[in-house]
A and B are shown apart, each in its own frame.
Chain A
Amino acid sequence: MQALFIGFSSVTWQDAIMYVVGLVLIWLAIKKEYEPMLLLPIGFGAILVNLPLAVAYEHEGQAGFLKILLEAGITTELFPLLIFVAIGAMCDFRPLFKMPVMIFFGAAAQFGIFATLLAAVALGFDLKTAAAIGIIGAADGPTAIYVASKFAREYLGPISVAAYSYMSLVPLIQPPVVRALTTRRERLIKMEYHEIQLPRSLMVVFPIVVTFVAGFVAPISVPLVGTLMFGNLIRECGVLERLSKAAQNELANIVTILLGITIGSTMRSRAFLQPATILIILMGLVAFVFDTAGGVLFAKFLNLFLKRKINPMIGACGISAFPMSARVIHKMAKQEDPFTVILMQAVGANVSGQVGSIIAGGMVLALVPLLVS
């Protein structure tokens, strides 16, 4: 008789909380449209894995489909890398090539990763876990998942949820930080933009050269850089339009579905309902704030030496959340002065943020193992 009601008798209050967490993520995805492509599958995966007996994950020693996906796609790091191929195929580096100086904002706005890493260690996390928490500041879901799956698989769920949630909250996070660090006069700075023609061969040669450079300078970053640049080469070569479209659409969509539900399956109540989860979520916000501050303050620093001043708001676009950050900053500039147009500069900085976040991820992957025995 008890076997008939085993579903009801085996549920715990922790499981019930996880149902609420899953439903909140689904609600945020549908009602608020916060990164719905990821938050909805993550929310549903979180519910599936916490249902009585967790049959979808594992039952009587047999792996369920969620565990199979986890082992095939996350343990092997395959899903985030396939997403990089898709992102590479979506990436247009032209705005960056037209204004190469914008690339430095892609570096400055990674400051939040390292500042948060330091803060996480100060709060008592070990270096590997702190690095995985800091990488939320990459504002780049696949990089966060890739690093977390290498350094802190037990926190993969909260790190992924934090990364994607804050990416969708960029319109709420960045404006107050930018306003706090800039004067109105600085926000009114106008920037010139000159349209220049780029040789098509540049678009083809760039991803190949960058892959070689990554391979020789930082071999550990090759999976990240190589897949991104492979996707970009498919896009730019001009003879693989079908593959480019497939990478941008079918590949991106299929892997996103599988990645999301698999991340959700790491949110088992016993592992997720810990004080560390709340700390991780809070530190993700700190990372985004420091990223934005790093970019803005770097722009202000450059202005000390430049004759033609840069609108320091551009610095905030150096994070990887593309194109959300560029749109947010352009909108802010328009609110200050309706005749200001800084969209191309903002997009250039935002694209360089995508490269910067991967380089930062590679740096963390290379440095941390050197220091941890």
Chain B
Amino acid sequence: MLARLLQSVQEGSEIQKALFVMVVGVLGVFGVLAFFFGLIHLLRRILKK
């Protein structure tokens, strides 16, 4: 499904591509930093012991 979505965006207009980068980019940054948020909590807990 992801591959099909990517292919349709690749064949789409420049605006569609920019929208794709915007949505995936914003979600991606939140996702990675959310992971770091969990990581900091985890490391704090593990390394406290």
On A, residues with C-beta under 8 Å from B are 96-97, 100-101, 103-104, 106-108, 110-111, 113-115, 117-118, 120-122, 126-127, 130-131, 198-199, 201-202, 205-206, 209-210, 213, 217-218, 352, 355-356, 359-360, 363-364, 367-368, 370-373
Give Cα A373–Cα B10 distance, bound, in whole angstroms: 8
B32 interface residue (CB < 8 Å to A):
yes
Q: In chain A, what residue has the closest Cβ to B19?
A: A118
Q: Indicate if the CB atoms of A127 and B26 lie closer than 8 Å.
A: no
B1 interface residue (CB < 8 Å to A):
no
In this complex, the member of A103, A126, A356, A368 whose beta carbon has the largest number of chain B beta carbons within 10 angstroms is A103
Q: In chain B, what residue has the closest Cβ to A93?
A: B40
Known A118-B22, A371-B10: A106·B33 in contact at CB below 8 Å? yes
Q: In chain A, what residue has the closest Cβ to B44?
A: A202
Known A100-B40, A210-B36: A107·B17 in contact at CB below 8 Å? no
Point out the residue from A121, A198, A209, A373 that lies within 8 Å of B18, measured CB to CB: A121
In angstroms, how far is the closest chain A Cβ from the Cβ of B12?
9
Q: In chain A, what residue has the closest Cβ to B43?
A: A202
Query: Size band of the B side of the interface?
Result: 20 to 34
Q: Indicate if the CB atoms of B14 and A110 lie closer than 8 Å.
A: no
Q: A205-B43, A367-B25, A373-B10 are in contact. List 7 more A-B contacts (CB 8 A).
A: A111-B26, A115-B22, A122-B15, A131-B21, A199-B44, A363-B25, A372-B17
Known A359-B33, A360-B25: A201·B47 in contact at CB below 8 Å? yes
Point out the residue from B9, B20, B24, B41 that lies within 8 Å of A100, measured CB to CB: B41
Give Cα A299–Cα B24 distance, bound, in whole angstroms: 21
In angstroms, how far is the closest chain B Cβ from the Cβ of A126?
7
B29: which A residues are within 8 A, CB to CB? Answer: 107, 110, 356, 359-360, 363
Q: Nearest 7 pairs between A and B by C-beta? A: A114-B22, A121-B18, A199-B47, A107-B33, A100-B40, A363-B25, A371-B17
Query: Please, could you name 13 A-B residue pairs with CB atoms under 8 Å apart, sorted by A?
Result: A104-B30, A104-B33, A104-B37, A107-B26, A114-B21, A127-B14, A131-B21, A201-B47, A209-B39, A213-B36, A213-B39, A355-B33, A356-B29
Q: Indicate if the CB atoms of B36 and A198 lie closer than 8 Å.
A: no
On B, residues with C-beta under 8 Å from A are 6, 9-10, 14-15, 17-22, 24-26, 28-30, 32-37, 39-41, 43-44, 47-48
Give Cα A355–Cα B25 distance, bound, in whole angstroms: 15
A368: which B residues are within 8 A, CB to CB? Answer: 21
Q: In chain B, what residue has the closest Cβ to A105?
A: B33
Known A113-B25, A114-B26, A359-B32: A101·B37 in contact at CB below 8 Å? yes
Give Cα A100–Cα B40 distance, bound, in whole angstroms: 7
Q: Indicate if the CB atoms of B37 and A367 lie closer than 8 Å.
A: no
In angstroms, how far is the closest chain B Cβ from the Cβ of A38?
25
Give Cα A96–Cα B44 distance, bound, in whole angstroms: 12
Q: Indicate if the CB atoms of B43 and A209 lie closer than 8 Å.
A: yes
Point out the residue from B9, B28, B34, B37 that lies within 8 Å of A371, measured CB to CB: B9
B28: which A residues are within 8 A, CB to CB? Answer: 359, 363, 367
Q: Indicate if the CB atoms of A114 and B37 lie closer than 8 Å.
A: no
Q: Indicate if the CB atoms of A199 and B22 lie closer than 8 Å.
A: no
Give Cα A57–Cα B17 distance, bound, in whole angstroms: 37
Give Cα A122–Cα B16 distance, bound, in whole angstroms: 10
A107: which B residues are within 8 A, CB to CB? Answer: 26, 29-30, 33-34
Give Cα A359–Cα B30 distance, bound, in whole angstroms: 9
Point out the residue from A106, A127, A198, A201 that lies within 8 Å of B21, measured CB to CB: A127
Q: In chain B, what residue has the closest Cβ to A100?
A: B40
Q: In chain A, what residue has the closest Cβ to B12?
A: A371
In angstroms, how far is the closest chain B Cβ from the Cβ of A364?
6
Q: Indicate if the CB atoms of A370 and B6 lie closer than 8 Å.
A: yes
